[in-house]
A = this chain, B = another copy of it.
Amino acid sequence: MARLPRIADLTPNVSGWSFFLCTRKETRVGRTGNPYLEIGLQDASGEARAKVFQDVDAITLEFDAGEFVKAQGRSNVYQGRTEIILDKIRRVIDRDRAEGFREEECIRCAPRPVDEMWTELLARLDSVQDPQLRSLLLRIVRTHEERLRIWPAARVVHHAYRSGLLEHILQIMKVSLFLADEYGARRDLLVAGALLHDIGKLREMSYETTTDYTVEGNLVGHIVIGIGMLHDAVREEPGVPAELVTEIEHLILSHHGSLELGSPVVPKTIEAFLLAAVDDLDAKLHQIRQHLEADDTPGRFTAMHKRLDRSLLKPSGS
């Protein structure tokens, strides 16, 4: 039997097998009164719903949510959405690696290749004019490179996948620099702010196949964790003037834009206003795009988006 295409490329009526991360596993009762399994499967390109209707009692013992699985079945369209009706599914075993199983291919990833993004990041940092600031930022990037390359930007809200944080940082940087030129803001500060505003997420969340909040993340939060990470770097690289460091701290602290949203201080510089606005916009648009893609309700409007508290007009062509 052939290997299935990536989830994002799956069309109806294709049979085959592949490796996935199982994100969800629930026993449900169908309209005829028989139990079946409803399963979430993920690969680098996206997430799909799958179902098991036969041998439910036996198959349910072969895997659990949170495990990598090998699954086999046929794609199908139900309520306007492609899903997979599975014949077999079991947890991955050692020799699957020989058949091509790779963890990172079973976990949702940012759409751009990570190496390409990393190169762009270093180029942005090279463009910083102040040599001491540039040196500080490069040190931070080197120190945290391992996590910074793969971390998600959030557990569920937006960019919640492998390398999502890096993708978000680069987008914030690009838009902020455009606006810096439009509104006469300092580019160096905005490169620093874009890089560091969410840097505390590297310790706020743990991340392996799934993302979770750490004790420090829950009790301190990424904004203040990020301040500590900046301090650690400044101690190694003490040449940056104190007031410039204070302004960068201010960018990190105020980037949620208001106290109600968790910033302990509100933006008080042009750069802080810009960064908070750009971060908010990027996060919102990412959520919107995701909601439009995921929605499978009938009609011209999506289901309610809880966080945004509204339904959205679907693009005409869709």
Contact partners of A183 in chain B: CB under 8 A: 285, 289
The yes or no answer to A8 lying at the interface (CB within 8 A) is: no
Docked Cα-Cα span, A31 to B57, in Å, equals: 9
Name the interface residues of A262-302: CB closer than 8 Å to any CB of B. 262-266, 268-270, 273-274, 277, 280-281, 284-285, 288-289, 299-301
B264 touches A263 (CB 8 A): yes
Q: How far is the CA of A277 from the CA of B285 in the complex (A)?
A: 11
Check A219 for interface membership: any CB of B closer than 8 A.
yes
Q: Which of A115-123, A137-145, A242-250 contacts B (4 or more CB under 8 A)?
A: A242-250
Among residues 216 to 275 in chain A, which have CB atoms less than 8 Å away from a CB atom of chain B? Answer: 216, 218-221, 223-224, 227-228, 231, 243, 246-247, 249-250, 253, 259-266, 268-270, 273-274
- Residue A285 contacts which of B27, B250, B273 (CB distance < 8 angstroms)? B273
Do A34 and B33 form a contact, CB below 8 Å, given A221-B264, A246-B216, A253-B220? Answer: yes
Q: In the complex, which residues of chain B have a beta carbon less than 8 angstroms from the beta carbon of A247?
A: 219, 313
A177-193 residues at the B interface, CB under 8 angstroms: 178-179, 182-184
Task: Say what secondary structure dominates the interface of chain A.
Answer: helix
- In the bound complex, residues from chain B placing their C-beta under 8 Å from that of A260 are 259-260
A216→B265 CA distance, assembly (Å)? 11
Query: Does A11 make an interface contact (CB < 8 A)?
Result: no
Query: Does any Cβ of B come within 8 Å of A148's Cβ?
Result: no
In the complex, are the beta carbons of A27 and B31 less than 8 A apart? yes
A174 within 8 A of B: yes
Cβ–Cβ < 8 Å partners of A32 in chain B: 35, 57
A253 and B220 alpha carbons, distance in the complex (Å): 7
Name the B residues within 8 Å of A184 (CB-CB).
289
List chain B residues, Cβ under 8 A from A223.
Answer: 264
| Contact of A312 with B by CB under 8 A | yes
Find out whether the CB atom of B246 lies under 8 angstroms from the CB atom of A215: yes
- A 157-180 to B, binary, CB cutoff 8 A, 1 in contact else 0: 000000000000001001100110
Give A246 to B231 CA distance when docked, in angstroms: 16
Closest B residue by C-beta to A212: B299
Contacts A215-B300, A224-B253 given; 6 further ones with Cβ under 8 A? A175-B179, A183-B285, A213-B301, A215-B313, A259-B259, A273-B284
**Which residues of A are in contact with B by a Cβ distance under 8 Å?**
27, 29, 31-35, 57, 60, 171, 174-175, 178-179, 182-184, 212-213, 215-216, 218-221, 223-224, 227-228, 231, 243, 246-247, 249-250, 253, 259-266, 268-270, 273-274, 277, 280-281, 284-285, 288-289, 299-301, 309-313, 316
Q: What are 20 residue pairs bridging A and B, where the CB atoms are less than 8 Å apart in the complex?
A: A174-B182, A175-B178, A175-B179, A175-B182, A184-B289, A212-B299, A213-B301, A218-B268, A219-B250, A219-B253, A220-B246, A221-B253, A221-B264, A228-B228, A259-B260, A259-B261, A263-B264, A268-B311, A269-B313, A270-B289
